[in-house]
């Protein structure tokens, strides 16, 4: 793969830059309850040297009933300052699954106007499989100011997605597994309808990954989107269960050179609970 410090970098690239003074590494691991994994405990036991833990559930909007919605600007700035992450830093985010929740952290930085941020391709498993070191040392933190310029066009709410579904002026692309998209498998959260947003297309995020959880090439990803009936000439809104795996699609789109994207932050957790919006089932 070609390393790009604004989207995706390899374990070899990170190993080469590990001692750079302005590099900041974040462990953005987050797991569904069904995974039975404790992201914080795993970070404490072993992480890439110098990494800070980025808590997706904590650095979120606690005023919302929905899980880990994007945080207010002030909260993001204060949390990142406390982590010693700010202006002038090159940020690399990884997770313990390979390529799963790290993309959510990447998207959050982009939402806040920060562009020098990349996801580690293949995450911690790839890093360790290549023989690179991990440790359990807490990082040395020095305060660093971060300038935030909120990019509102990178996020969508239920009203905007409902309009896009009706007008078909955007393509809504759902990253959930095909059975959930078609309404043939139950949702992991109780009280939620099954199915998908009318007019949406289905690109399960796992389709974009290789067996080692690295991302497929931009050309291979483009072919997958096109095979799913996604019109790449239109702006795209990505969606999933709760706004995490949709960002894997977003990251792939950015690498493909498709920059007209946004994320439906509430995703199916909101749409599936919202009584007045329609639901479709079956194939797209």
| pLDDT per position as a tens digit, 205-224 | 999 999 999 999 999 999 99
157 in the same domain as 105: no
Mean of pLDDT over the chain = 96
Residue 14 resides in a domain: yes
Question: Is the same domain home to 82 and 54?
Answer: yes
Catalytic-labelled residue, pool 240, 253, 256, 263: 240
pLDDT at 1 over 80: no
Owning domain of residue 247 = 153-271
pTM: 0.97
Any catalytic annotation for residue 221? no
One domain, residues 117 and 190: no
86 occurs within a structural domain: yes
pLDDT at position 189 over 90: no
pLDDT in tens, 215-249: 999 999 999 999 999 999 999 999 999 999 999 99
Q: Are residues 201 and 249 located together in one domain of the fold?
A: yes
94 and 82 housed in the same domain: yes
- Each residue of 54-84: pLDDT tens digit? 999 999 999 999 999 999 999 999 999 999 9
HEC assignment per residue over the chain: CCCECCCEECHHHHHHHCCCCCEEEEECCCCCHHHCCCHHHHHHHCECCCCEECCCCCCCCCCCCCCCCCCCHHHHHHHHHHCCCCCCCEEEEECCCCCCCHHHHHHHHHHCCCCCEEEECCHHHHHHHCCCCCECCCCCCCCCCCCCCCCHHHEECHHHHHHHHHHCCCEEEECCCHHHHHCCCCCCCCCCCCCECCCCEECCHHHHECCCCCECCHHHHHHHHHHCCCCCCCCEEEECCCCCCHHHHHHHHHHCCCCCEEEECCHHHHHCCCCCCCCECCCC
Domain boundary among 116, 150, 184: 150
26 found inside a domain: yes
- Residue 284 banded pLDDT, cuts 50, 70, 90: confident
């Amino acid at each position: 793969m070609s390393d790009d410090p604004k989207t995706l970098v390899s374990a070899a690239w990170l190993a080469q830059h590990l001692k750079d003074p302005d590099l900041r590494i974040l462990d953005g691991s987050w797991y569904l309850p069904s995974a039975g994994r404790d992201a914080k405990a795993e970070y404490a036991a072993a992480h890439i040297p110098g990494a800070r833990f980025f808590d997706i559930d904590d650095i979120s909007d606690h005023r919302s009933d929905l899980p880990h919605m994007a945080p207010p600007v002030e909260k993001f700035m204060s949390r990142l300052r406390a982590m010693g992450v700010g202006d002038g830093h090159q940020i690399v985010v990884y997770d313990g699954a390979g390529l799963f929740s790290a993309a959510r952290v990447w998207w959050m930085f982009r939402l806040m106007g920060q562009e020098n941020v990349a996801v580690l391709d293949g995450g911690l498993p790839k890093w360790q499989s290549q023989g690179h070191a991990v440790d359990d040392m807490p990082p040395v933190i020095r305060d660093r100011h971060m300038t935030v310029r909120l990019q509102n066009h990178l996020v969508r709410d239920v009203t905007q997605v409902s309009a896009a579904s009706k007008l078909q002026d955007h393509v809504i692309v759902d990253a959930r597994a095909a059975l959930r998209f078609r309404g043939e498998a139950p949702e992991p959260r109780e009280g939620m309808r099954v199915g998908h947003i009318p007019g949406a297309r289905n690109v399960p995020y796992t389709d974009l990954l290789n067996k080692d959880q690295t991302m497929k090439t931009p050309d291979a990803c483009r072919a997958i989107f096109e095979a799913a009936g996604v019109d790449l000439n239109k702006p795209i809104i990505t969606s999933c269960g709760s706004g995490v795996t949709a960002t894997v699609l977003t990251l792939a789109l950015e690498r493909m050179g498709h920059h007209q994207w946004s994320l439906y932050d509430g995703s199916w957790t909101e749409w599936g609970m919202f009584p007045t919006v329609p639901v479709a089932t079956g194939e797209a």
